[in-house]
């Protein structure tokens, strides 16, 4: 036996792994395509509309009454910053979708202020997406999407709609705001799906 430490057989792995083309930041940049909408909590509601037209609505107090999860996740913006280990509290989309009778494959997410983004319904399920209303132990600040934003950390962060207002479930895919402007329909950071054709 040589004088080799156990486990020291290959090249050292990098301390952190980032998706291709991303750099690490400790800041939390604000990226908004328009002004920050202010939504009074008594006026806030979240609606899921199934492809049948059936609507399910939650008020702010309805949302707070649902079981919450704390999640610590890495986030990746298509403008190339990544932030590791962000901690959020919110309601899993699995919880919200549980009572919705739908066979739709596509979702179009709607925000207060008019922003939209699309993704497969499958990506909202299986513990992959949350309606987040707390960030790092405090109420989610308005500039980061408060009172409530969608959090879908396995896709580029433009899919995580701030000031989320509802989700339409659809049988056909319909592009949202950035997707209409040439960004990728799906947006997997690990496959570097930034733009259409990537
Ligand atoms: N409603 C809304 N949601 C949005 C956006 C937006 O402009 N409007 N920008 C998206 C983009 S491109 C990114 S990178 C993240 C930025 O979130 P942050 O401002 O909290 O960093 O929000 C996403 N969600
Ligand atoms: Mo972004």
Q: Does domain 23-27+41-191 have CATH number 2.40.50.180?
A: no
Averaged pLDDT for residues 146-163: 98
Is the Cβ–Cβ distance between 127 and 153 less than 8 Å? Answer: no
- Kindly report the protein residue whose alpha carbon is nearest to atom 19 of ligand 1: 30
Pocket test for ligand 1, best of 157, 177, 187 (most atoms within 8 A of CB): 157
Percent of residues, the chain, with pLDDT higher than 90? 91
Q: How far apart are CA 104 and CA 50, in angstroms?
A: 8
168 neighbors 97 (Cβ within 8 angstroms): no
pLDDT of 41-85, one tens digit each?
Answer: 999 999 999 999 999 999 999 999 999 999 999 999 999 999 999
pTM of the full predicted structure? 0.93
Alpha-carbon gap, residue 153 to 158, rounded angstroms:
10
CA atoms within 13 A on the CB side of 184: 19
DSSP reduced 3-state for 30: coil
Please list every protein residue whose CB sits less than 6 Å from any atom of ligand 1.
28-33, 77, 111, 113, 115, 144-145, 157-158, 160-163
Tell whether the torsion through CA atoms of 157, 117, 123 and 134 is positive or negative: positive
CA of 79 from ligand 1 middle (Å) equals: 11
Instruction: Answer yes or no: is pLDDT of 12 > 90.
Output: no
- What residues does each domain of the chain span? 23-27+41-191
Nearest CA to ligand 1 atom 18: 30
Q: Which of 127, 98, 95, 93 is nearest to 109 (CA)?
A: 93
* Per-residue confidence band for 17, with pLDDT thresholds at 50, 70 and 90: confident
């Amino acid at each position: 036996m040589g004088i080799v430490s156990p486990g020291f057989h290959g090249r050292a792995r990098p301390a952190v792994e980032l998706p291709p083309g991303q750099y690490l930041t400790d800041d939390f940049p604000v990226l908004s395509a328009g002004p920050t909408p202010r939504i009074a909590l008594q006026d806030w509601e979240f609606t899921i509309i199934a492809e049948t037209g059936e609507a399910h609505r939650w008020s702010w107090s309805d949302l707070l009454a649902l079981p919450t999860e704390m999640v610590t996740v890495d986030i990746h913006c298509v403008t190339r910053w990544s932030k590791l280990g962000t901690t959020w509290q919110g309601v899993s989309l699995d919880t919200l979708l549980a009572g919705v009778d739908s066979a739709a494959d596509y979702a179009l997410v709607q925000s207060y202020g008019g922003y939209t983004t699309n993704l497969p319904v499958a990506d909202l399920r299986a513990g992959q997406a949350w309606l987040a209303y707390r960030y790092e132990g405090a109420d989610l600040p308005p500039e980061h999407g408060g009172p409530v934003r969608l959090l879908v950390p396995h896709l580029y962060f433009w899919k995580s709609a701030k000031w989320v207002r509802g989700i339409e479930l659809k049988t056909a895919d319909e592009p949202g705001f950035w997707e209409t402007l040439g960004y990728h329909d799906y947006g997997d950071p690990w496959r570097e799906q930034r733009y259409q054709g990537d």
